[in-house]
Amino acid sequence: MKTEEVKKFADKLRYEAYRMVYEGGDGHPGPAFSIADIIAVLYEDVMKIDPENPDWLDRDRLILSKGHACPILYAALSEKGYYGESVEHFNLRKLHTTFQGHPVMGKTPGIDMTSGSLGNGIPIGTGMALAAKLQNKDYRTYVITGDGELQEGVVWEGVMIAAHHQLDNLTVLVDHNGWQSGGSLKETGGVDEIDSKFASFGWKILHIDGHDHAAIKAALMESAGQKGSPTAIICDCVKGKGLSFMENNNDWHKKVPTKEQFEAARGLIEEEKHEL
């Protein structure tokens, strides 16, 4: 495992995503930080991709079903070299930008699926995984979904049919941070017992700390070896993970940092402090 590289990569992604929201003056930092470690492990250490050839048919696919967290994905694509040098100004959510408020396939190289309307990622991932099976392709399809998002009914239609077709080339990572837009999942009334819900449909379940890089890597490897069923990795995450004032504070669901709050990100990237 590329332990050091992944750690550095994750820090850098958080910083870049935060900078993007700060400079763009709009966006969802808490949701982005929640999945920073998952994205870091996937892009730095697991996914079969070719940044110079983003449409390569045999590449692994990533569907960011919780599209509002896209700054962290844009950061990963930038750092992996999809746009040549790292992007200097993303102009997130600004006029004419490549980096829209939610991911748009075809507009932004490296984005494997359009999202932003919650609930669609698992059914879409199911379609991509099914196509791989039917065409004897060995790419894997990864879906990152929010936990609040699981309230959408169509999610469970996808869960049902993916199990029926034994799509063991499909891995869903649930960002289980306990929060959605209006408040906590508990207040809203669901979804609880996520593990047993997926399990009851016949999915392989793994449950990990969503910020532990080694655990994320191990779970992804295990899901790759799974035979006969899709895998759901339930990742216990902290919304806003990485900046103490953001952690578990749902005010940061959609919020732009002040200059001071942005400066606080200094600690995120030790080596590059001077650049701030």
Ligand X SMILES: Cc1ncc(C[n+]2csc(CCOP(=O)(O)OP(=O)(O)O)c2C)c(N)n1
Among 30, 51, 67, 121, binds another protein (CB under 8 A): 67
**Cα(184)–Cα(177) distance, integer angstroms:** 9
Of the two residues 16 and 152, which places its CB atom closer to another protein in the complex?
A: 152
Q: CB under 8 A: which stretch of 15-23, 51-59, 99-107, 231-239 binds another protein?
A: 99-107
- Please say whether the beta carbons of 140 and 92 come within 8 A: no
- Please say whether the beta carbons of 157 and 120 come within 8 A: no
Whether the bond into 191 is cis, omega within 30 of 0: yes
- Please say whether the beta carbons of 155 and 123 come within 8 A: yes
Among 29, 30, 110, 119, binds another protein (CB under 8 A): 119
CA atoms within 13 A on the CB side of 169: 22
Give the nearest distance from C-beta 187 to ligand X in angstroms.
Answer: 12
Contact call for residue 152 and another protein (CB under 8 A)? yes
Contact call for residue 69 and ligand X (CB under 6 A)? yes
The site map against another protein for 246-265 (x = CB under 8 A) is: -------x------------
Estimate the crossing angle of helix 70-79 against helix 3-24, to 10 degrees: 120
Of the two residues 69 and 220, which places its CB atom closer to ligand X in the complex?
A: 69
Of all residues in the shown chain, the one whose CB is closest to ligand X is 146
Residue 149: both structure tokens together: 């998002």
Of the two residues 168 and 175, which places its CB atom closer to ligand X in the complex?
A: 175
